Homo-oligomer: A and B are copies of this chain.
Amino acid sequence: MQMNFCSHCGQPVRLVIPDGDNVQRHVCVACGTVHYQNPKIVAGCVPEYEGRILLCRRAIEPRLGYWTIPAGFMENGETTQDAARREAAEEALAEVEIGSLLAVVHVLHADQVHVMFRARLPAPQFGVGRESLEVMLCDEAGIPWDDMAFRSVSFALRRYLDDRRNRVEQHHFTTIDFRRQPPG
């Protein structure tokens, strides 16, 4: 959302390049506070139970009705693993054990960094969280690739399956930038 006012003193902000900086920032005309904007972390996981993967169909925008792995914005005071575990509990009512780092996806058009982990679902116990329409365990052949919510999720799932086939657990970086390469 557009920043118009200083969150510290309530007076208007202007977009200027502060002394010693080289990027435009929102700076308060009254108290001089510089308001930096930085990428946010989205943490998620690929929970597996006996070879099948836990997927959620989104009940919220963006991408309502499309499929995703449990993932969401990291909160202050938690680790990326904590955040991934919490999102699985919230979206799929699933208590997962977070494993190794799977993917780091720079989503440049959204100012987000997606950090995805492998995870183990110890028992086939899950449900439909309030941000989900439907939650399912599905085998590789059943993954709805054409109805995935986000390209970062497809990337993480494909790397997960490739690595599983090769019996390795690597981590994978990639960058998605719809400013240059529009979706579709």
Contacts and interface: CB of A to CB of B under 8 A. Distances in A.
Given A39-B41, A73-B38, A80 B4 contact: no
A158 interface: no
Chain A interface helix/strand/loop/mixed: loop
A144 interface: no
A81 B38 contact: no
Given A5-B7, A8-B5, A108 B77 contact: yes
B7 A75 contact: no
Contacts of A113: 41, 74, 80
Q: How many copies altogether?
A: 2
Interface stretch (A29-37, A50-58, A134-142): A29-37
Among A12, A13, A111: residue with most chain B CB under 10 A:
A111
Nearest to A13: B7
5 contacts: A3-B7, A7-B35, A10-B12, A38-B41, A79-B173
Q: Which size bracket describes the interface of A in this complex?
A: 35 or more
Contacts of A6: 5, 7
Contacts of A11: 10
A85 to B, nearest CB: 13
A11 B39 CA distance: 25
A135 to B, nearest CB: 18
A38 B76 contact: yes
